[in-house]
A and B are shown apart, each in its own frame.
Chain A
Amino acid sequence: MKGYLFFMVVLIITVIAGCAKQEESLAATNFKQGYGELTFEFTDRAFPQEVYQNSPLSFALGVENNAAYDLQDITINIVGFDRSYIDLSPSEQKLELLEGKSILNPRGGKEILFFQGNVRALLQGVEYLPQNYIVHAKYRSTVEFSPTVCLNPNIYQVYDAGCTMPSSIITFNGQGAPLSIKSMDQITRSGFAPEVEFRLSLQNKGKGELQKITLRQARLGNEAISCQFRDTENKQEIKITLDNKNDLNIVCTKQIEDQHSYRTTIFLALEYEYELSVPRNLKILR
C-alpha cells in the first residue's frame, strides 16, 4: 500500500512537472489547422472583479490572435455596465490589424487595450451592486482551404494509372480559424462533358458567432471554379441567421477537360465577419 501511494505521488509530480512544451521545428509546423480564434486575457489584477464606489476604474484587456490569419477592423467594446453607476470612457477601442500565427510570428499578434472610467456612488443603504457586462469583439478575417484532390473523368476506367478518388466524404480538422470547412464531398459526373462537383460544408467552431461569409476566391488548379452558397440571393455571400447557421454549404462545379485522372489543388478563400462576446461580472462595494 505504501508503495502504491508513493508511486502515485511520484506519477502526479512527474505529470505536473512534465507539462512543458517541446520545441518543434517552426518550418514543419502547419499553423493553418485547428480552430484558433481571437481570445481575451483577463488577468485578475488588471481586470478587477470588485471595485469601490466613488473610485476610478481601469481595465487592461489582453487581446491575442490565435488564428492562422490576420484579423482586421477589430472593434472591442466593454458593454453592459449600468451607466448610472459606471462611466467607462471610451468603452470602445479599435485595432486595424492583429497578425495571425505564422512562421514569423508563431504566437500570433497580441495587444493590450486599456479602458478607464469612474465608479459613481451607490444609493444610500445599498451595500453592494453586482454588475454583469460583456467584453465584445467584432472583426473581419479570412480562411483558406486548399486540399489536394484527385480528378478522374472516367471513374469506371479500370486501367487508369493515375490517382484514386476518395470513396466517401473527407472530413477536416480546421484550417486555423473559427470558420472551418468541415467536410468535402466530391462527385464526378462522367460522360460527354465530364464535370466535377465539390460540396463543402462549413461550420462555426469558435466561441463566437459568424455574421457574414463572403467567397473571395475559388480556383481549381490554375483555373477559376464556379462556387456559390446554397439558398442565398447573392450566391457569393451569405448572411448568417438563426435559420441557416447550422447549414452552411458551398457548391463548386467545373468541367474536366483532361481524359485521365490527375491530382490538383482546390483553393477557396473565404472572408468572414465574426463577433465574440465574453460575459464577466463586477461588484461595486460601498
Chain B
Amino acid sequence: MIEEALKEKWKWQGIFRSRKSGTEAKSESAIVPANQEEKTSKWRQLVDIFHSYREIQRAEAKAKPQDIARPAGREQAIATKFAAKEAKARAEEKEQEREAEEARKKDAKDKPAQLTSKPFILNIGGGSSSSAGAGSLASSSSFSILLIVLGMIHFLIKVYLPLLAPYSFLFSVVLLLIAGYALAMRLEQDRVAMLVALLAFVVWYFVYDSRIDILLPLGIIILVLSSVLGILTKGQSLKPELFGFFPVLFFFLDIGLIPFFVERLHIPLTTLMQNLILFMPWWALFGILTLPADVGKSPTTNLFVNGLRVVGILYLVFIFAAPNFSYFQDISLLPVAGEIAQAEQQVRERLAGRENSFISNVKCILKITGFTPGTTSIQQCVQERQEMSEIEALCKNQGLTGQSDIDTCVKEEQTRRKSALHTKGTEDPTIRRPTTAQFVIVEEFFPKQSIRPKTGTFSITYPATLDLQNPRRQSINVKIECTFKKGTETVIGQVTTGTEGTDFLTVAATDNKIPVVCTPSTELDGKYQLLLQAHLSNLKTPSYLKRVFLGEKTEEERSTWVEKIRRTVITSPQDTITQAPAEFARLNFAFGRTPQDPYIAASDPILLSASIEDSGKGKIERIHGYAIQLLEEGFSVRSGDITCLQGGDSEIKVALEGSRVVQKVYSLPTCFLELPDSLKVFEDPFQVKTFFAELRYDYRINKEIPVEVKVIE
C-alpha cells in the first residue's frame, strides 16, 4: 500500500510540476477525471493518498529523521486544498442524497417526518417546520383540520339538535381518539405511550363509573406504572403520557365536566361556567391548538392557520373575561341529578338563547371605541346585550313572528324584570310543561292585506288558533274576543270557535288547539290593528316554598348546622324562594326570621309576607282567591292580619281596564306565625319541609296583528 501510495505521489508530483512549468504531463489526460462524479471520487482518493503519504513521512522520519527536510508548508497547502475540495464534494453528495430522499418520500407517501418540537400551544406563527416536506406537514395538519370540522359539527349538534344529544357522547369518544392521534403527530410523541393516559381515563370512567373514591388509588397505580415505564425507557415515555392527558381533559370538558362538578362536588354554577358550557366548542379548539405552525408552503395558508390559532386563544380569553350576569344574581343553578350529558343538556336548555359572550364582548368593544352614548363600560354593555338576547329568544320562542310583536314582548319582559318584587319567586325547572296559552296565526292563510270591492258585500275572515296547553287538566273557561282598531275607530269582531260556533267554551284536555275565526261586524277600509283576546277564567297555579327547621339549638349550633346544610342539602339559593310553574301568575310567599332566611329555629319569630306576581305576557283580570296552606300544617297566626294566609276578591284590587297603571305585583297582608310543636321539637338534627300555596285567578292574553283592507272600485 505504501508503495502504491508512493507511486501515486510521484505521479501527482509530476502533474503539479508539469503544470507549473507549463508543460503537460504525458499521462495527465489519463489521470484527470472525465465527469464530476469521477472527479469527486478522485479527489477522495487523493486525500486518502495524502494521508498515506503523511504516514510514509512519519515512518521515514522515524527511520531517518535527519533526512526529513522537506518544507511542510507545501504539503500543508495541498492537504488544505484537498480537504476543502473533499468537504465540498461531500456537501454536494449530501445534497444529492437529500434530494433523492425527498423524491422517494414524495413517491412513496411516507409517514410524516419529524416536525418541530416546540410547545404546540405557544407556537403561534413562530419557528419554521423541519425540512420534512409539505406532504408530511399536510397530513399532520389534516388531522387537526378534521378535528376542527368535526368539533364544530359536534358543537352545533349539541346546541341546535338536542334530539341527537344521546349520540353526542359517542361522537365525543371518536373525537377523543382523533385528538390523541393529532396531538401525537403534532408533538412528535409516541402514540402508544400517549394511550396510557387515555387508557387510565377509560378504566376510571367506564369500569369504575367515575367514582371519586377510586380516583386516588387508581391514580397511584397509574403513577407507579408510569414511573416504571419511565425508568425502563429512560424517561422517554413520561412526556407522551403526560401529553396524553390533554385530550382526556378536553373530552371530559366536552361531555360535561362542569355539570359533573356541580352535581357531585356541589360547586355552584357561575356565569363563567354557564358560558363555558354553552359557548365552547372544545374539540374544535383542540384542533386549532394542534395545528402546525407551517401547514404548507403557501404563506397565505400559514397566515390563515396561525390566525385561527390566535382567534382560538382570544376566544378563550373572552370567555373567561365574561362578566357576572345580574339576572342570575350569582346564584347556583344546580343542575338536576342524572347523567352528565343530560345535566349539561338541561342546563343548556335553561340558558339557551343567550348571545355568545365572545360576540357580545367584540360588539361592545366596537361600540365603546365608537363612543356610542349611553354605554359607559364594556361590562355594562355586555350585560345589557346578554339580557336583551335572552329576552329576544324568549319572545321568539313564544311563536311571535312580526317584528312589532317581538318588540312589544321585549319591552314587557324588560319592564317585568326591572320591577321590584316584594317577595321573590322563580320558575320551577322540574315542571317542563306548564299551562300556557297563545294565539297562533299561519302567515300563508292570514289575510294581512286584502282587497274588497267598494260595492257589494264581501266578507273577510281572519283565522287564528288558540293553543292552550293544560297539562294539569284544569277546567278552564275560555272566552275569545276580537276587535279592529284604527285610531279612535273600533270595529267589533264576531268570533266563532270550533264546532260549537260560539266564542265561549270550557276546556279540560291537556292539549287544546282551538280554531278561532274573527269576522268584522262592519266592512273595513284601511289599516287596522286586529286585537285578539282570550279571557281565561278559573285558572289555578300552585306555588311552593321549602323551609328548614332546626329545632332547639343555640346560636353556635345553629351556625354550625346552617353551614353544613348549606353545603349539602340546600345548596342553591333557588331552593329557598318560592317556586312555581312558568304560567301566567303566581303567589310568592316566604316566612322566617326574615322572609329571605329559610332556616327556622324553635324560638325564632316568624314573619310571613306574600305577593301575587303577574308573570305572564297578558294581564290578571281578577283574583278569585289565594291560599297559603300553613294552617293545615299546624301553623297559627300569632298577630297581624288573618287574611295573610288566605283571602278572596275583596283583598286585592286589580288595576282597572284602561287604567294607565301597569301593575305586575299585588302585595298581600303580612302577619306573624306560630310554629306547630312538631316543627319545634324533634329527634333529627333538622327537618326540611315544603309548603304549598295556590292562586285562583282570571287572565287575559292578547295578540295584535296589523291588517289592511283596500277598497277598489
Contact B221 A15 (CB under 8 A): yes
User: Does B430 lie within 8 Å of A79, measured CB to CB?
Assistant: no
Interface pick from B132-140, B165-173, B224-232, B353-361: B224-232
Tell which of B453-461, B663-671, B686-694 binds the partner. B686-694
A92 to B684, CA, bound (A): 7
Is the C-beta of A91 less than 8 angstroms from some C-beta in chain B? Answer: yes
Task: List the A side residues contacting B146 at CB < 8 Å.
Answer: none
Selected interface stretch from A1-9, A54-62, A149-157, A158-166: A1-9
- Given A15-B225, A279-B266, A127-B338 contact (CB < 8 Å): no
Chain B residues in 8 Å Cβ range of A79: 684-687
On whether the beta carbons of B430 and A127 are closer than 8 Å, the reply is: yes
Chain A residues contacting B338 (CB-CB under 8 Å) are: 283
Name the CB-closest residue of A to B191.
Answer: A1
Residue A115 at the B interface, CB < 8 A?
Answer: no
Q: B515 contacts the other chain (Cβ, under 8 Å)? A: no
Sorting the interface of chain A by its residue count into under 10, 10 to 19, 20 to 34 or 35 or more gives 35 or more
A244 interface residue, CB < 8 Å from B? no
- Whether A82 and B690, one on each chain, are in contact in the complex, defined by CB atoms closer than 8 angstroms, is yes
Instruction: Give the docked Cα–Cα distance between A5 and B564 (Å).
Output: 49
Q: Nearest-CB distance from A252 to chain B (Å)?
A: 29
Q: Which residues of A contact B399 (CB under 8 A)?
A: none
Q: Evaluate contact between A125 and B192: CB separation under 8 angstroms.
A: no
Residues of A within 8 Å of B471, CB to CB, are: 124-125
A83: Cβ under 8 A from any B Cβ: yes
Binds B, one of A129-137, A170-178, A255-263: A129-137
The CA of A83 and the CA of B682, in the complex, are separated in Å by 13
Per-position binary interface string of chain A over residues 87-130, scored 1 when its CB falls under 8 Å from any chain B CB and 0 otherwise? 00001100000000000000000000000000000011111111
Q: Which of B196, B581, B688 contacts A81 (CB 8 A)?
A: B688
Q: Write the chain B residue with the least CB distance to A15.
A: B221
Q: Enumerate chain B residues within 8 angstroms of A283, measured Cβ to Cβ.
A: 336-338
A27 interfacial contact with B, CB 8 Å = no
**Within 8 Å CB of B683, what residues of A?**
77, 91-92
Q: Which of B199, B433, B568, B690 is A125 in contact with, Cβ under 8 Å? A: B433
Q: From A282, which residue of chain B is reached at the shortest CB distance?
A: B337
A15 touches B224 (CB 8 A): yes
B residues 207-240 near A (Cβ < 8 Å) are 221, 224-225, 228-229, 232-233
Q: Does B542 contact A (CB under 8 A)?
A: yes
Whether A127 pairs with B686 at a CB distance below 8 angstroms is no
- A133 partner residues in chain B, CB cutoff 8 A: 569
Known pairs A125-B431, A127-B431; A85 contacts B196 (CB<8 A)? no
What CA separation (Å) do A132 and B575 show in the bound complex? 11
Chain A residues in 8 Å Cβ range of B430: 126-130
In the assembled complex, which residues on chain A have CB atoms less than 8 Å from the CB atom of B431? 123, 125-127
Q: Given the complex of chains A and B, what is the CA–CA distance between A84 and B549 in angstroms? A: 13
Residues of A within 8 Å of B233, CB to CB, are 4
* A221 CB-CB contact with B under 8 Å: no
Across the interface, do B432 and A132 meet the contact criterion of CB distance under 8 Å? no
Collect the chain A residues with CB atoms within 8 Å of residue B685's CB.
77, 79, 136
How does the 8 Å CB contact mask read for A1-45 relative to B, with 1 for contact and 0 for none? Answer: 100110110011001100000000000000000000000000000
Q: Is the CB of B688 within 8 A of A83?
A: yes
CB distance from B170 to the nearest CB of A (A): 24
Q: Does B544 contact A (CB under 8 A)?
A: yes
A75 → chain B, closest Cβ, in Å?
A: 9
A147 at the interface (CB under 8 A from B): no
Do residues B433 and A128 form an inter-chain contact, with CB atoms below 8 A? no
Contact-residue size bin, chain B (C-beta under 8 Å from the other chain): 35 or more
Q: Tell me which of A4, A124, A136, A241 contacts B472 (CB under 8 A).
A: A124
A277 within 8 A of B: yes
A127 touching B192, Cβ below 8 Å = no
In this assembly, does A281 line the interface, its C-beta being within 8 Å of a C-beta of chain B?
yes
- Whether, in the assembled complex, B556 has its beta carbon less than 8 Å from a beta carbon of chain A, the answer is yes
User: Looking across the interface, which residue of chain A has its beta carbon closest to that of B209?
Assistant: A44
**Which residues in B have their C-beta under 8 angstroms from that of A136?**
685
Question: Which residues in chain A, 264-286, are within 8 Å of chain B measured between CB atoms?
Answer: 277, 279, 281, 283
B619 within 8 A of A: no
Give the Cβ gap from A76 to chain B, nearest Cβ, in Å.
Answer: 11
CB distance from A55 to the nearest CB of B (A): 17
Known: A12-B225, A134-B569. A125 touches B434 (CB 8 A): yes
Complex Cα distance A136/B232, Å? Answer: 49
In the bound assembly, the distance between CA atoms of A277 and B428 in angstroms comes to 29
Instruction: Please determine whether A80 and B225 come into contact, CB atoms closer than 8 angstroms.
Output: no
Smallest beta-carbon distance A120→chain B, Å: 11
Say whether B345 faces chain A, with CB atoms less than 8 Å apart. no
By a CB distance below 8 angstroms, the chain A residues around B385 are none
Complex CA–CA separation, A127 to B471 (angstroms): 12
How close is B429's CB to chain A, nearest CB, in angstroms?
Answer: 10
Find out whether the CB atom of B686 lies under 8 angstroms from the CB atom of A84. Answer: no
Q: Which of B228, B559, B581 contacts A11 (CB 8 A)?
A: B228
Q: Which residues of B contact A49 (CB under 8 A)?
A: 337
In the complex formed, the residue of A with least CB distance to B237 is: A4
In the complex, whether B571 has a CB less than 8 A from a CB of chain A is: yes
Given A15-B224, A281-B337, A283-B337, verify A126-B687 contact (CB < 8 Å): no
Give a binary string over B266-288; 1 marks a CB under 8 Å from any A CB, 0 the rest: 10000000000000000000000
Which 7 A-B pairs rank lowest in CB-CB distance, beginning with the nearest?
A279-B568, A84-B690, A80-B569, A124-B472, A125-B431, A132-B569, A83-B689
Seed contacts A49-B337, A136-B685; 9 additional CB < 8 Å A-B pairs: A79-B686, A80-B565, A80-B569, A84-B689, A91-B684, A130-B336, A242-B559, A279-B567, A279-B569
Q: Which residues of A contact B (CB under 8 A)?
A: 1, 4-5, 7-8, 11-12, 15-16, 49, 77, 79-85, 91-92, 123-130, 132-134, 136, 209, 241-242, 277, 279, 281, 283
A-B contact pairs, 7 of them (CB 8 A): A79-B686, A123-B544, A123-B692, A124-B472, A132-B568, A242-B560, A281-B337
